């Protein structure tokens, strides 16, 4: 249970930071988002692995560092953390009406591609920096993960919304930032990116196929 609560807390503060910085149009929002993810990864990594992202949990599941029996409650905890965070951010900022991102036409395909690519990058970094036998007990995994999200947000945040995380996408929809009718774009792209990262990690690191006890992630 302490792992699930840790996932709830980390996801809550990630979505809260995303909401307050995006709704207030903070210029350096990607820096704040990457920073809160970094510190929450350091705070909860030793307890739950600090996924805070259903796509990352899927990658870790395919990589063999978590069982399906644990992955499902992780997903529930992450989604449960995103909704109250979204409501809290909306209450704090009180933005009024905000335009919801609703890609269509070429923009839909671009959003799918951008989200899938940078979610792949995020999950791939998590697996290599935080789960590889080649980096036992390293101290840089939080920085690597946080900066990956910041880089992705700067690179494609204005194109796809820069969720890279199904729980963030759900929270963004609650805040009115993403159109509910198009939520499938982020769910599909982000989960696909996470799954591909898990498969790529195993293909490039066949020695890692033996399941290990959870540690950093």
The pLDDT assigned to 112 comes to 97
Lowest mean pLDDT segment, chosen from 1-5, 111-115, 194-198? 1-5
pLDDT band at 211 (very low <50, low <70, confident <90, very high): low
Distance of CA 41 to the CA centre of its chain: 11
- pLDDT more than 90, % of the chain: 83
With contact defined as beta carbons under 8 Å apart, do 29 and 22 qualify?
A: yes
The CA angle 172-197-146, to the nearest 5 degrees, is: 55
- Provide the whole-model pTM: 0.92
The mean pLDDT value of the chain amounts to 93
Mean predicted confidence (pLDDT) in 25-45:
96
Q: Which of 155, 153, 190 is nearest to 18 (CA)?
A: 153
Q: How many CB atoms neighbour CB 56 within 10 A?
A: 32
DSSP letter at 208? G
User: Strand ranges (DSSP E) for 107-202?
Assistant: none
């Amino acid at each position: 249970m302490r792992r699930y609560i840790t996932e709830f807390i980390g996801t809550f503060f990630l979505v809260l930071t995303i909401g307050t910085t995006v709704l207030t149009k903070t210029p350096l929002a990607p820096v704040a988002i990457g920073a809160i993810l970094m510190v929450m990864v350091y705070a909860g990594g030793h307890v739950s692995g600090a996924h805070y992202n259903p796509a990352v949990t899927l990658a870790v599941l395919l990589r063999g560092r978590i069982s399906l029996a644990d992955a499902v409650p992780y997903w529930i905890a992450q989604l449960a953390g995103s909704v109250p965070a979204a409501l809290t951010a909306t209450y704090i900022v009180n933005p009024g009406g905000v335009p919801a991102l609703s890609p269509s036409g070429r923009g839909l395909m671009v959003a799918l591609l951008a989200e899938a690519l940078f979610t792949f990058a995020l999950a791939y970094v998590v697996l290599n920096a935080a789960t590889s036998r080649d980096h036992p007990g390293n101290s840089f995994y939080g920085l690597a993960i946080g900066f990956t999200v910041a880089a992705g947000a700067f690179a494609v945040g204005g194109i796809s919304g820069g969720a890279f995380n199904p729980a963030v996408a759900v929270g963004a929809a609650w805040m009115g930032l993403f159109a509910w009718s198009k939520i499938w774009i982020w769910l599909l792209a982000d989960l696909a990116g996470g799954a591909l990262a898990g498969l790529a990690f195993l293909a490039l690191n066949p020695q890692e196929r033996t399941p290990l006890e959870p540690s950093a992630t």
